[in-house]
Amino acid sequence: MTTRLLGIDPGSRRTGLGVIDVDAYGHYTFVHCEVLNLLIDTDNFPERLGRLAEGIDAAIDQWQPQQVAIETVFMDKSATSALKLGHARGAAIATVVRRGLPLAEYAPRVIKQSLVGKGAADKDQVQHMVRILLNLQGERLFADAADALAVALTHAHMAATAARAGVGVAALRRRSSTPRQ
């Protein structure tokens, strides 16, 4: 049995979408990735959020994922940027929930830890591991799309680990995000 996952790297200017298939043995297959450029022909923020929701709806219609994973908000230097990112995440989450799909959320540090082995990995290291895991050596991969694929790969890894441990993914995420003493 194969499960199709949609990973979302939300942004208020560009949102990355990545689709992978995962089989029962944990093998990953690249399906699709894209970047929704929300700035085309507008700088109106509510219109950009509308485009984000429409783009996610279109991806769900086209690729038919069974599960969705999204990156959580990271703290930025600018409060305005963090708020806009929160709005973009909210629009993405509302779209997924409205479509009735299960949604998992992962912190950037957990995604980096899952793919690279250290939570402080840089974007190049994450992108390199995405290329290796999905066998994308010769293809051009935009940063936002690579980040979305990283979110999907993290969810696949966490779901497989949770299944082996006999716990739900949410319980595993709580354990992985709890600070160690």
9 among known catalytic residues: yes
Residue 120 structure tokens: 């402080």
CA Rg, the chain, in Å?
16
| Catalytically annotated residue among 21, 71, 105, 147 | 71
71 among known catalytic residues: yes
| Catalytically annotated residue among 9, 21, 105, 147 | 9
**Contact in structure between 105 and 177 (CB atoms under 8 Å):** no
Residue 118 φ/ψ, nearest 5 degrees: -145, 135
105 among known catalytic residues: no
| Catalytically annotated residue among 21, 105, 144, 147 | 144
Q: How far apart are CA 142 and CA 33, in angstroms?
A: 9
User: Measuring CA to CA, which residue among 35, 148, 49, 146 is closest to residue 94?
Assistant: 49
Q: How far apart are CA 80 and CA 98, in angstroms?
A: 27
Q: Catalytic residue positions?
A: 9, 71, 144
